[in-house]
Structure 1
């Protein structure tokens, strides 16, 4: 009877003990998942990091992507780094740059493959294409005996030490695309990054500040010039040639002047784009190719005007067919590339809306005039 009377109390105590254990586990898991500069998460990783982490200075170097950098000087020519970032089934990278850009940097890159295996590699970023990013190359001397990569819950930790008097203060951080394709042997080739940032880092204070891009104005100028030149003036000039021939020879002067202005402004836009492409680390190959096709077609149109046959020539009909259709292709490609450029620049919906409204008005007017022209012919 004594045992039976105590059993409920023992059961209650046992259940409370289990609840306390579960609560403790939840606290631990919460600490593991949510890393921050105020957490003591590295204490849970001491057995997997092969150098002293007690003196590391913490900095939220890239808040929007959840990148946290901990670093300190471990010796006269030895520096310790621990980079923490969300595990997005792609790579995370820290690059040490000579000029703040990705090209010319040496980067430490880590990722977790689909099978759960974690890998950390050194890369030299010799260019903007994946083939120019060379694995196991670069001017950083990494202490391999102290390097480790840790996948813990929803985050990945890159721990390494550099043998160097003073690391570069121009740091570049990048995160790979969310395509669930980690770099694979034997090439370990990196795909184009989804996002990247340049940070001017102070090792003494542990403070990093994003390097503001000096090319935002150039981007804006590039977009405006191309939108106005190729995307606005050329369609207007084409409509004048198509629907205003009844006003006499004035249509030709207006058409020629507007098209030449559009070509000149558009050419300036493409030149600014080529300058921009040399100065920023972004892959815009398709946008660039379409732009070069547009400028080529524009040059062909000018050449066609210079060799335009007389009205009574036998080839005038063929020339008209060529001139009209090349112009139509040019206008369609230019309009598409304007929208595509806005998309690549993440310029915001207001740019698309503004140009889309204008294009809608132009198309509506063109359809109305085309119907009127067909009616008159009937």
Structure 2
């Protein structure tokens, strides 16, 4: 059984799918591991580190992709400089494990199905106790929440903590976290450690105790509908509920020095939580860090990948924040992927068992078909939106 680690070609991607420590564990289990030349460079893992762990370094990209049984990546397959898709480099029947964004970009899923690839998407790992060690969305979101607070602290023209000095007393910064998932909770904890006064909001009332346990005040909005989707994620709510939510949070946004938004819905545009009117009421010098920038942003003024100043408020729309901490991001992701490998490989042989709830949920394509109904629906919706060709 041969496992290969590809070098990421996406410009902003600095992570790698396996680190030397996890390679060594797989090699000890009798598995052959190939690593593409330079795959770990941007994560500060050298080719010699991988060789010492027992991996074989492969410089020929076509050989690595075309002769492996399982290919491990971080980012979804990309278009290469020669115009070919990385999907075309895989041999038919191979296994691909990666973030695939199948709900947001179902065309890639169709390409993988056409190639008869068994593709497992790390985004689709179910949020269950048994799958915790494989939950890459959570491990990477935690990094994003932490880094978002550091970015905000660096951009804010104030201290975060309260200080009492001979020159007077400095009041602590007021931080408002919107969304109390993994990223939001890590942001709360980090902002509190930096000495800020923290409030947090989430449409899911069940997270109230978690927010309070971290020392933040929970801003509650009572809604007359279910707010939790399958797997514990926040569910997209009605327009009436969105309006009610905005009315409640507007005052908290107005009075905050820092607002960090984290609300995302898989496969959908990010919910609009902060309107232009709210931003206009914030104090000059305030900062918004929008972790949903890649999905269109929770803030109406967000520009993905850019820092802008709007009416005196700095609005930051970072892209792929976990990649800015590639050592630990790769370490955590490699652990997630290795745990999934332990589930898939028995006695040095691949066993894709669809009676297992984790495998069944994560496997997007197999035997030439898209297995996941939500992905099929997303592809159908995309197809019907395409203009007719005369």
Does 1 or 2 have the higher relative contact order (CA < 8 Å, sep 6+)?
A: 2
**Greater strand proportion:** 1
The two structures have a TM-score, normalised by structure 2, of: 0.24
Larger gyration radius, structure 1 or structure 2: 1
The two structures have a TM-score, normalised by structure 1, of: 0.24
**Greater helix proportion:** 1
